[in-house]
Structure formats: structure tokens, C-alpha cells
Structure 1
Amino acid sequence: MTAELTIVIPAKNEAEMLPKLLRSLCRQDYPLMRETQVLVADAGSTDGTVELALGFGDRLAIEVVAGGLPSVGRNVGARLATTKYVLFLDADVELSEPTLLRRAMGAMRRRDLHLATTNIACRHGGFFDDALYMGNNLMQRIGSQLKPFATGMFMLFEREAFWRLGGFNERALFAEDYLLSKGVARDRFRIVKGKVLTTNRRFQKLGHGRMVFMFFQTMAHSWDDDYFFRDRGYWGAG
């Protein structure tokens, strides 16, 4: 069977989290999982991330390529892809349900979608972590009535549509995933039932209050692309 999907995972020093993601990919019941190329775009890891990724070579068609900041790594992987669809995943997520990828791919085909995403939940978070991710999911659904909203944790793109939008803008210093997803036509976007699990390290890094503030600032500047090109301290914090 011919592969139809490429998975791209930007990573740097993700030796603790990346294996959880890769194991969750191994558990997917998507029938072409074994033929699906998994590209880890590594940004110079020094903690064994590369070796751990390659250790999944007996279970996944995995390859490590040179990356950079997430937008750079994602674009590198997308340029190497020849399949109709490309799935971008963050290295610190985990697909919680073995049916998620199969169902997302089915939605892409049936509805001729350009982008599909899913919900987010915290793996071992506290009350505020869970509440903020629930709020994110709610605002994602509400906001998508005006403009699609997806995060880099799970973005399943039709590859040609991805490049028509220009790929991830490598000049963006903040919310490069939202900057891209909001360009997708509303009728070509869906939020697939289910979720990916992630950590609360984003909140630990910046604080709950600041993350909420940045989220609403992003929504408020939806029509101002220049906002995303100014440093918000996201990459330099923590």
C-alpha cells in the first residue's frame, strides 16, 4: 500500500517526552502507520533525543533530519514530504486514543479538508492546568467560527494547501501555528473528536496568568500579522 501521510516532529532535547509520543504512534490503528514516514527535525539535541528516536526504527519508518526553531523544523520536514497529507506534532504530546490518527485521516478524505486538529488535555496537571486547556479547547471551537485556530501540538494538513499558505512563517516569534491556521478556509477545517495529551511545562515556563494574557492577545491581534513578528519572550523564557 502506498503511504499517504508524513509525520513531522520538531524536537530539541526531548529525550524524556519524545518516546511517549513515538510509543503512542506505534499504538495507532491507522492501517498505513508502518509505511508512514516519521521525520524528527532535531535542533541540535545533546541529551540523546536522536538516539532514542532512531531506536524506534524497528517499529516506525523514522528518520532524523536537521531542524531549528519549531517553524523551521516543521518546514524542513514538509519539504521532504511527498505524500498528500502532513501531520505536525509537538514532541511533548501523546496521542491518547489509538483511533485518533485513523479518524482524523478519514475526516480529511471525506470532507476534502485542508486542516484538521483535535483537543488538548494535560497529562499530569493540576486544576488550573486542566482548566486552561479546557478553556483553550472552548475558545478554539468558538473562534473557529470566524477563523480556524489550531496549535502545533496536532495539525494535519493537506500538503498542497499547506504550501499555498506559505508554510510556517519562519519570521514569526510567537504563535506561528495560529498565524498559519487562521489562513485556512472555514469550510476546509475541522476539529476532530478526541485529544492529545501534553504536559504543563508551558505554564511552568511562563506562568498561568501570562499564558492566558498571551492567548487573548493573540485572539485580539488576529488581523494584525505584524504582531506575531515581535518578540514576546516566549522562546527566551524559562
Structure 2
Amino acid sequence: MKSLSVVVITLNEEKRIARLLSDLSCQTYQDFEVIVVDSNSDDRTREVAEKYHAALPSLTVHQMSDRGVSLGRNTGANLAKNERLLFLDADVRLDKDFLQKAIDKLEEEKLEVAGVYMGSRKLAPAYKAGYGLFNAGLFATQFFFPTAVGACIFSTKRVHQEIGGFDEEIVLCEDCHYVKKAAQTWRFRFLPMSFQFDPRRLEQDGFFKMGFTYLKANIRRFMFGEMRNNEMEYKFGHYQQQ
């Protein structure tokens, strides 16, 4: 069973990073390191993360001078000591057996790269319905036009290096491009499990607005290819201000 490197990207996440690190410290599977890659936060994100060295002995907190989602993931992958990679966002929550189940399934299915469905436990019925529709789309497209949720993606160093990592020129749907490119060589599938995801982006942007944005973006990607020239302007990080 391969050891795992967990890459967590952060930007002003002092209110949420502790919850994820606590979840990781309580995992039934413990053969992993955690690499927190911080995009030069203005708050106490790094200080909060540093307090988890006792609970997570293989924890590294790395500060970047520049900011960027893809840059952060690529930086974490370069720092990783293990072959198996897991990319997480700081507002993810994991059940205590998440890593064990995921590793078992990855090895059983011989998957190098895989996505994970979004969970809606404890959310309002409207969110449950919305997440259900979104997950149905993820399931259907995995067979011909893979998409993914960047907040939780499994990969390997071999895949990451051979496809050139996350494309730092793509602002919207860089996660979908990553798995789509990987799927050209390796079989990509979604694991039959889920992670919990903070709905703050939906709450601020509105479910229908955000859903339409990503639907439009992926239709555009399907028809015309990846967006590297700000074809669809989308402001990331604005929810951090709340």
C-alpha cells in the first residue's frame, strides 16, 4: 500500500484549516504526510496550522510569496515525498475512515487519478438536491469528458509530472483540465464515496448563479477548449472576505 502525501492549499483560512487538520489527525489510516501550502495569507492561517505538528508529526507548512490555486498545488506536489498524492482545499471535511476507504478503492481499481463526490450531510434540502445534480453530472461525464472538484482529487507523482501538473495559466476549471488530460493516458473514475464541503461559495454567489457559471464554463470547454485568456471572468477568493 502506497504512502500518501496530502497537499492542502490555503488563503486566509484561519477559521477553517484547524477543522481539516483535526480530521486528518484522526484518520484510521495514518501513513501520510501533510503539506500545507499557503498563498501568503493576511490572517493567522500559518500560525494555526503550525500548532498541529504534535498531532501530525509529518506536517510541513510552506509559505509562497505569490498566490495561485494551481501554483499552490504544483508547489505542494514538488515538496511531496510520497508517490500517491491527494489535493485538498482547506474547507474540506473528512470522515475518520475516508483515507483508508479511498486508498483501498484506488488500489482495488488500480487507479492513478480519481475524483470524489461532494457530500451534503447536514445541509439544507435545497443544497442536497443541488449537490445531487452536480454529482450526477460528475458521474456521467467521467466516461467521455472528465471533470472534477479540485477540492478533493487523488493523483500520483508520475501522473502529475507527465501531464505537467496543474496549468497555471487556466483560472477557471483548472481542476477539470487536470483530470481530462490525465484521462488521456490513465483510466479516470470517481470513487464511490464523498467528502464534506463548506457551502460558503454557494451561499454568497447563489446556487443557481454558481451552477450556471460552471455549466457554461464546461460547455465552453467542450466546444472550444480550455480558457486561458479570461474568456469567462470569475473572481476567486471573494468569499474569504466574509
Which TM-score applies when normalising by structure 1? 0.89
TM-aligned CA deviation for residue 171 of structure 1: 0.7
TM-aligned CA deviation for residue 25 of structure 1: 0.8
TM-aligned CA deviation for residue 234 of structure 1: 2.9
Query: Which residue in the other structure is 1:9 paired with?
Result: 8
Amino acid at match of 2:227: Y
User: For each residue in 1:142-199, what CA deviation from the matched residue of structure 2 results, as whole angstroms up to 9, or x when unmatched?
Assistant: 1112122221111010211122111111111111111111123276222222211111
Partners of 1:122 and 1:200 within 8 A in 2:
no
The farther-off stretch of 78-87 and 124-133 is 124-133
Please show how residues 159-178 of structure 1 align to structure 2 within 5 Å: 159-178=157-176
Match of 1:146 among 132, 144, 147: 144
Query: Which residue in the other structure is 1:45 paired with?
Result: 41
Which TM-score applies when normalising by structure 2? 0.88
Q: Distance in 1 between matches of 2:138 and 2:156?
A: 20
TM-aligned CA deviation for residue 128 of structure 1: 2.7
| SS of residue in 2 equivalent to 1:182 | helix
Is 1:205 paired with 2:204?
yes
Structure 1 residues 201 and 124: CA distance shift in structure 2, 3 A: farther
Q: Distance in 2 between matches of 1:112 and 1:121?
A: 24
Amino acid at match of 2:195: V
Q: Distance in 2 between matches of 1:18 and 1:236?
A: 15
Query: Which residue in the other structure is 1:235 paired with?
Result: 236
Partners of 2:141 and 2:147 within 8 A in 1:
yes
Structure 1 residues 236 and 24: CA distance shift in structure 2, 3 A: closer
Q: Distance in 1 between matches of 2:30 and 2:171?
A: 37
Amino acid at match of 2:89: D
Structure 1 residues 45 and 236: CA distance shift in structure 2, 3 A: closer
TM-aligned CA deviation for residue 31 of structure 1: 4.1
Please show how residues 107-118 of structure 1 align to structure 2 within 5 Å: 107-118=105-116
Query: Which residue in the other structure is 1:185 paired with?
Result: 183
Amino acid at match of 1:83: N
Match of 2:53 among 42, 57, 78: 57
Query: Which residue in the other structure is 2:25 paired with?
Result: 26
User: For each residue in 1:35-89, what CA deviation from the matched residue of structure 2 results, as whole angstroms up to 9, or x when unmatched?
Assistant: x221111112232111111111011111111232211111000011131111000
The farther-off stretch of 215-224 and 83-92 is 215-224
Please show how residues 42-121 of structure 1 align to structure 2 within 5 Å: 42-60=38-56, 61-67=58-64, 68-95=67-94, 97-121=95-119
Partners of 2:116 and 2:149 within 8 A in 1:
no
Amino acid at match of 1:233: Y
TM-aligned CA deviation for residue 237 of structure 1: 4.6
TM-aligned CA deviation for residue 106 of structure 1: 2.0
Q: Distance in 2 between matches of 1:122 and 1:47?
A: 28
Q: Percent of aligned pairs with the same residue?
A: 27
The farther-off stretch of 16-25 and 104-113 is 104-113
Q: Distance in 2 between matches of 1:43 and 1:185?
A: 29
TM-aligned CA deviation for residue 124 of structure 1: 5.1
Q: Distance in 2 between matches of 1:209 and 1:31?
A: 39
The farther-off stretch of 202-211 and 67-76 is 202-211
